Chains A and B, each alone.
Chain A
Amino acid sequence: MTLSEKYKDEIAEILSRYPVKRSALIPLLYLAQREPGYVTEAAMTEIAGLLKLTPPQVYETATFYTMLNLKKVGKHHIQVCKSLMCALVGSDTVIGWLRTKLGIAPGETTADGLFTLSAVECLAACGTAPMMQINDDYYERLTEEKVDKILADLRTAGTSPLKSGPYMWPESAR
């Protein structure tokens, strides 16, 4: 099914937000990525048609941004922040745990296609480091126990209650 058949109303709503069509490009690429987890070439061609762009123009934008995947990733994309503030309090250790527990290195996907591991740059959660993002959710103040629980939850339920809610840190005034 094409994107316009599948997301007709949503596409119309997105287009209505901008006076210039091309601005809808990233929102539409997100839409294309929603189900398969990555953007296919067919989707990019279709989006080009929708926005009156050439396919290379779409490709040019899509390749610039780290959150737009051009190839398949695991069902749960684990991204551990490795920037300085997280590294100061143990993000390299977290990556080490995940390497051992999942048997993959950053950049790799488990054979069952369940997990992809990535080491990424700062995710604006440095006060609750070490932290990681899995798909749309943040997991913060990680300990080995917590990481185990999260992986188990994702394996069994597909989601984990340990994900962060609206951010506040510290949670109370001094």
Chain B
Amino acid sequence: MPKHELILLKNMMQPGYTGSLADYEKTGGYQALRNALGKMAPTDVTAKVMKSGLRGRGGAGFPTGVKWGFLPKDYQGPRYLCCNADESEPGTFKDRQLMERDPHQVLEGIVLACYAIGAQSAYIYIRGEMVLGSKILEHAIGEARAAGYIGKNILGTGITADVWVHRGAGAYICGEETALLESLEGKRGLPRVKPPFPATHGLYNKPTVVNNVETLANLPHILSRGPEWFASIGSPPKSTGTRVFCVSGHVKRPGNYELPMGVTTRELVFEYAGGMRSDKPLKAFIPGGASAPFLTPEHLDVKLDFESVAAAGSMLGSGGVTVMEEGTSMVWAALRLMEFFYHESCGKCSPCREGSSWLVQTMRRIIAKRGQMQDLETLTDLCKNIAGRTVCAFGDAEVSPIMSTLKHWRHEYVALIHEADAANLIRPESAGTRH
């Protein structure tokens, strides 16, 4: 893989770069804003973003320009932009770095998006645990406001875009865009039934766009260097640009690697992340955060772009790549993720609320060697009755660790159940005991 150019991580990789306004301006920061506001029609900004092929970096991968285009054209009242900084998908830790190391890159993207969609207010909904990140952003907003990049009458253009940081308070589901809006309105973070979509009925029932941090950080670059440049990077036409891949698990050098979409997991793990931690073979990996189904070594050469990963039976999601070495129990790994989903189910709909509890109990029984063969049917049945039958996409996400490990490593489940049978033969009095 030839060494490629960094886009989003470029500034922060410069020695001595602090992320201050002065440092950011020295790298050409806020030039895109200067060239766009009042000089380019908002619809032209949207057109450029559409042409660039930029797709959401939060998980769903929806085309950003198209999302903006859903806002009603003739609506006169207020519109809102929400920056989704609730990064909580296990395996994902890129937005934290983007915000803490180069906050103005994110802010410039936010103001550009506000301009394109006609929003005068933007809220950065940051996960509550990231206290340092919220302080850094607040400081950067202060600098940008003083310099006239944020607030009323930006750079004398008469355009207003105010930006506030709003801290969440610990709830994974608030990364789901309608739950985020509920939470921002001061309520429990329960996803809304869609339609209507946020584009028409969002924050305070007003037209709203919710975009992820990394998505927004791409905007200044798309506008300064042109949509054609952006669309030439990665796996055009459908997966353009770079991704900040978050590599975790059993590798020598975990961390954030910005690479063009379409890099393979083999390259990512063995050329960038230093290879396997203990030089044991790779057994399994998750290509896009906890919600993405597990893949096997057979899939190491699948390109990490939206279409290729989907074709392999998983999803690119948030770009969190978790690697597991030979010797890792897949039933254990699936249970760990299932416990996460069980903890984070918001409880609004019964398939997810009740189903997640059943799934955890059944998995725990199998791990504790008290399982029976029929538990595997129970797991499959439960998963089928959750996926596609819930208010939000969480339902599909929570079944993926179990469904995918059952598909590729069913023998590990079976082995645990056989051990349970053997134990019961030795201790007949405990046969049939269920907890």
The binding surface of chain B is classed by DSSP as mixed
Q: Known contacts A88-B249, A127-B93; is A65 also within 8 Å of B100 by CB?
A: no
Residue B382 is within 8 A (CB to CB) of chain A in the complex: no
- With A23-B184, A124-B88, A124-B130 known as contacts, the answer to whether A84 contacts B333 (CB < 8 A) is yes
A84 touches B253 (CB 8 A): no
Tell me whether A121 and B186 are in contact (CB under 8 A).
Answer: no
User: Once bound together, how far apart are the Cα atoms of A22 and B172, in whole Å?
Assistant: 21
- In contact, B132 and A88 (Cβ under 8 angstroms): no
What is the CA–CA distance of A25 and B340 in the complex, to the nearest angstrom?
A: 27
Known: A20-B185, A85-B91, A168-B101. A27 touches B322 (CB 8 A): no
B49 located at the interface, meaning its Cβ lies under 8 Å from any Cβ of chain A in the complex: no
A26 and B169 in contact, given A83-B90, A122-B88, A124-B96 (Cβ under 8 angstroms): yes
Q: A20-B185, A24-B186, A66-B171 are in contact. Are A84 and B246 (CB under 8 A)?
A: no
Contact yes or no, A85 B322, CB < 8 A: yes
A174 within 8 A of B: yes
Residues of B within 8 A of A80 (CB): none
Q: How far is the CB of B352 from chain A (nearest CB, A)?
A: 16
On whether the beta carbons of B169 and A173 are closer than 8 Å, the reply is no
Give min CB distance, A129 to chain B, whole Å: 7
User: Closest Cβ of chain A: how far from B160's Cβ, in Å?
Assistant: 14
Task: Chain A residues near B230: list those with CB within 8 A.
Answer: none
Chain A 123-151 interface residues, beta-carbon cutoff 8 Å to B: 123-129, 133, 136-138
A22 and B185 contacting across the interface, CB-CB below 8 Å: yes
Give B1-40 interface residues, CB cut-off 8 Å to A: 6, 12-13, 19
| Complex Cα–Cα for A127 and B255 (A) | 5
A29 CB-CB contact with B under 8 Å: yes
Q: Is the CB of A166 within 8 A of B100?
A: yes
B164 at the interface (CB under 8 A from A): yes
Question: Residue B250 contacts which of A89, A122, A167 (CB distance < 8 angstroms)?
Answer: A89
Q: How far is the CA of A129 from the CA of B250 in the complex (A)?
A: 11
In angstroms, Cα B204 to Cα A133, docked, is 33
- Interface 1/0 per residue, B304-328 and A, CB below 8 Å: 0000000000000000101010001
Q: CA of A22 to CA of B182 in the docked complex: distance in angstroms?
A: 11
The reply to whether B13 and A123 form a contact with Cβ atoms under 8 Å apart is no
Query: Given A26-B168, A65-B169, is A84 in contact with B6 using a C-beta cutoff of 8 Å?
Result: no
Contacts between the two chains (Cβ within 8 Å), count: 165
A61 to B87, CA, bound (A): 21
CA distance A24 to B187 in the complex (A): 10
Query: A84 touching B132 by the CB < 8 A rule?
Result: no
Q: A85-B91, A85-B249, A127-B248 are in contact. Are A64 and B130 (CB under 8 A)?
A: no
Given the interface pairs A17-B164, A26-B183, the reply to whether A84 lies near B322 with Cβ below 8 Å is yes
**Would you call B422 an interface residue if the criterion is a C-beta within 8 Å of the partner chain's C-beta atoms?**
no
Does A67 sit at the interface, judged by CB under 8 A?
Answer: yes
Contact B337 A19 (CB under 8 A): no
Contacts of B400 in A (CB 8 A): none
From known contacts A65-B170, A126-B320, infer whether A170 and B186 are also in contact, taking CB-CB under 8 Å.
no
Per-residue B-contact encoding for A157-174, CB less than 8 Å = 1, 0 else: 000000011111110111
Residues on A with C-beta less than 8 A from B13 are 172-173
Contact, CB under 8 Å: B272 / A174: yes
The distance in angstroms between the C-alpha atoms of A88 and B326, with both chains bound, is: 12
Select which of A20, A26, A51, A137 is within 8 A of B167 by beta carbon: A26
A114 at the interface (CB under 8 A from B): no
Most buried by A among B167, B168, B328, B336: B336
Contact A124 to B87, CB < 8 A, known contacts A17-B164, A85-B249, A166-B100: yes
Which residues of chain A (72-97) have a CB below 8 Å from chain B?
A: 82-85, 87-89
- Chain B residues positioned under 8 Å from A30 (CB to CB): 167, 169
16 new A-B contacts at CB < 8 Å, known A83-B336, A136-B132, A170-B255 = A26-B166, A30-B167, A64-B171, A65-B128, A65-B171, A66-B169, A84-B91, A122-B90, A123-B129, A126-B246, A127-B248, A129-B254, A165-B132, A167-B101, A168-B100, A174-B272
**A interface list, Cβ under 8 A from B:** 17, 19-20, 22-27, 29-30, 51, 60-61, 64-68, 82-85, 87-89, 121-129, 133, 136-138, 164-170, 172-174
- Would you list the 3 A-B pairs with minimal beta carbon distance, nearest first? A25-B186, A65-B169, A66-B170
A-B contact pairs, 11 of them (CB 8 A): A26-B183, A65-B169, A66-B169, A83-B90, A84-B91, A87-B336, A88-B250, A88-B324, A88-B328, A122-B340, A167-B132
